Amino acid sequence: MLTFTYAAPAAVPLSGIEVKVHYAIYDGIPLISKWVTVKNTGNQTVQINQVINEKLALVEEESAVVGSVEDMKKQHGLYVESNFAFNNAMRYHLSDQSLHWKADSTYTSQVNYDLKTPAIMEVYPTVGVGIKLAPKDNFSSIRSWELLMDSYDRERRGLAIRKMYRTIAPWTTANPIFMHLVSKKDEQVYTAIDQCAATGYEALILSFGSHVNMEDTTAGNLAALKKLADYAHSKNIKIGAYSLFSSRKISEADDIINPKTGKTGGTFFGNAPCFGSNWGIGYAQRIKTFFEKTGFDIWENDGPFPGDQCASISHPGHHGLEDSQWVQFNMQKQLYHWLNARGVYINSPDWYFLDGSNKTGIGYREVNFSLPRENQRILNRQNIFDALWEQNPSMGWGFVPLTAYQGGGKEAVLEPLNEHLEDYRQLMMQYYGAGVQACYRGPRLYDTEETKQTVIDVIQWYKKYRDILNADLIHLRRADGRDWDGFLHVNATAAGIKGLGMLFNPLKTEITRTLVLPLYYTGLSGSAKLTFDDKTVKKMSLDPLAKMTMTITIPAESYRWFTVE
């Protein structure tokens, strides 16, 4: 950690302002973090409109005679990420609100005729901070992380970014096995807790549409929910609940005022409360009170602050439009920090990983789960394959509709579970086989002893291979419903199992394929021992590039798996 401290001479207007520029430099990864803090040591309030915490002149990625800055932006040898990202995209590069590429007119030897090559990289909130810094107050900018890349290979770049997350946000590696319960009364919760304990599940989340209201902080409600939490804990099950912040209308006094119309409405989600309103300030406190009094362990926060500006000048949390986004975003951060510090697990459909959230959606459209189960299998594997290029398996959740969700007929759901047991097993195996937790949403995990045993078998398999299943995922072939698809988990530093592969056959006939697997990522050379389906053991030779050729038969509409040692 390195900090530079700057102060203006006493005679200039900025006297009394102390600026610190901080660098955090990491071991074992070419990564550096940077942020700026400002302290007002004077006697006058100071207006801070904007803080640019990073500015670098970088080598251009291409030389084009014509083209704008936007036209020429591409992947770069420097990957930059900040903790200022939101908009529910469930992907960082689409959520980022801070990275800016600019032209450098003083760089006169560039090829671009209009001198518009994107050669300057700056990091700052696009809207600005717009705050008033009172005497003795402190301001801290957003933080940016800069990761040096040594390749344009998509897999290798992704592996570097995934290692970055494990380094700077280790809480994202937590990956509890959870059920999503739709409950109407407490008795259903007790039954679900018992089923979780019986099958090896580790957590229960009371899903949206359930009977729990986290915002009700009356003594009676908190006592009743604490009783549920105590029962769950007695069974060694963690318990959580759902709460919606945005995408709802509270009141004309508390909602976001649209700066374009001067009225409520027209926000990112249509209507939304302002975090800086009386209701928003109270909401944060009610959530804290809920967790303090009930002992719940998980918060499913839907519609977190999506970046709306608010033009109100009467909300107590912000002064006006200029500081409204910055203030609301920081209120969101502070709530997440508080929860994370208490060990509360946070599911949030936005990119708040660097401020305490544990998991976001893997990326899907909810209406997809109205499709027939056969289509859902393939689509889920596509979603897994696409999502895990730049995030670890533990960072995303998927979805399995045990009961009807967003429409669809009986061919879309798994209930009755015992009548669709093979679909249930395969949906679990492809998610757990990817290391991804899905929201198994419905009233129960099993309905018969056979169903119960199926769930137990899959969970025991997952726990047996949990370490490698939560390791990096290498992409083999994307699902298309026309031929095999699959992926390979790898961990070159593991003492025992260094890889686990999952191969799927969506066709209605058995297939035999000869595959070339990149075992380079396992760290092995010369040879490898493969164990198929926990049964057949084979010693396989690797070529000089640590690739392995094997022939394998996969049953119709089924899967095979193997470990690598």
Q: pLDDT digit string (tens) for 480-490?
A: 999 999 999 99
Looking from the CA of 511 toward its CB, the CA atoms found within 13 Å total 19
Residues 15-23: contacts with CB within 8 Å, 24+ apart? 15/42, 16/40, 16/41, 16/42, 16/43, 16/44, 17/41, 17/42, 17/46
Delimiting residues of CATH 2.60.40.1180 domain(s) in the chain:
468-564
Task: Give the pLDDT band of residue 404 (cuts 50, 70, 90).
Answer: confident
Cα–Cα distance, 165 to 170 (Å, whole number): 7
The whole-number pLDDT of residue 365 equals 82
At 102 the pLDDT is 94
Question: For 96-123, how does the pLDDT look when each residue is reduced to its tens digit (9 = 90+)?
Answer: 999 999 999 999 999 999 999 999 999 9
Is residue 405 scored above 90 in pLDDT? no
Q: What's the pTM value of the predicted model, to 2 decimals?
A: 0.95
Q: Has residue 406 got a pLDDT over 90?
A: no
Instruction: Tell me the mean pLDDT in the region 11-38.
Output: 94
Are 99 and 158 in contact by the 8 Å Cβ rule? The answer is no
For residue 240, the model assigns a pLDDT of: 98
Q: Would you say residue 184 has pLDDT above 90?
A: yes
Q: Of 496, 538, 487, give the one whose Cα is nearest residue 515.
A: 487
What class has domain 468-564? Answer: mainly beta
How many helices (H) and strands (E) the chain has is answered by: 10, 27
pLDDT digits (tens, 9 = 90+) for 127-157: 999 999 999 999 999 999 999 999 999 999 9
Please state whether beta strands 396-401 and 238-244 pair in parallel, antiparallel, or not at all (unpaired).
unpaired
Residue 59 has a pLDDT of 87
Asked if residue 6 lies in contact with residue 19, where contact means CB atoms within 8 angstroms, the answer is yes
Inter-residue contact 317 to 335 (CB < 8 Å): no
The mean of the pLDDT values for the chain is: 95
Q: Taking a C-beta distance cutoff of 8 angstroms, is the pair 362, 439 a contact?
A: no
pLDDT at site 408: 78
Question: What pLDDT, in 10s, does the model give residues 382-397?
Answer: 999 999 999 999 999 9
pLDDT at residue 195, rounded to an integer: 98
Share of the chain above pLDDT 70, in %: 100
User: How many percent of the chain have pLDDT more than 90?
Assistant: 90
Residues 6+ apart with CB under 8 A from 284: 275, 331, 334, 335
Instruction: Reply yes or no on whether the pLDDT at 183 is more than 80.
Output: yes
Question: pLDDT tens digit string along 321-373?
Answer: 999 999 999 999 999 999 999 999 999 999 999 999 999 999 888 888 899 99
The string of pLDDT tens digits covering residues 288-326 is: 999 999 999 999 999 899 999 999 999 999 999 999 999
pLDDT surpasses 80 at 85: yes
> Can you tell me the mean pLDDT for 398-402?
92
Dist. CA 307–CA 354, nearest whole Å: 16
Report residue 75's pLDDT band, with 50, 70 and 90 as the boundaries: low
Taken as a whole, the chain contains a residue count of 565
Q: What are the residues whose beta carbons fall under 8 Å from the beta carbon of 411, sequence distance 6 or more?
A: 372, 373
